[in-house]
Amino acid sequence: MKLLRKKIKHSTKKSEAKAPLRNVMDGSILTHEGFLNQIPYIFFLTLIAVIYIGNRYHAEKILRETINISHELKELRAEAITSTSKLMFKSKQSEVARLVEQRGLGLKEAVEPPRKLTIKDE
């Protein structure tokens, strides 16, 4: 008798375990009151998941922009250094004198040092 009860309990547990799967498969789980009470919570979790995914895409977009701006900044720094060195070379006194002579502007380099003019008030 005890053995028969154990078998009956064991077989009902298996059918109970299969019942949720059957309810999901045939769609009857959607009509249970316990599920209907959880719908707002499910919608809330769905909303949180959508916000999380959107936040992830936004963060990746900002990261890509940051990397692109970083590369652009490196290129601009290199260009600025190149321009500065060219300007330093062209503004040397010997280079300016050579360019003036080459272009035939008729300017001559000062041989005497500049003098300071003072005006006396009488």
Per-residue pLDDT of the chain (122 residues; tens, 9 = 90+): 555 455 555 554 555 556 777 877 777 777 777 778 888 899 999 999 999 999 999 999 999 999 999 999 999 999 999 999 999 999 998 898 888 888 888 888 888 888 898 888 86
The per-residue pLDDT for 72 is 98
Q: State pTM to two decimals.
A: 0.52
Q: Given this model, what pLDDT does residue 26 score?
A: 78
Widest CA span in the chain: 140
Contact 95, 89 (CB under 8 A): yes
Q: pLDDT value at position 18?
A: 62
Q: What angle do CA 84, 87, 92 make, to 5 degrees?
A: 130
pLDDT of the residue at 5: 53
Q: What is the pLDDT of residue 10?
A: 53
* Per-residue pLDDT, 65: 98
Per DSSP, the residues of 81-103 read HHHHHHHHHHTSHHHHHHHHHHH
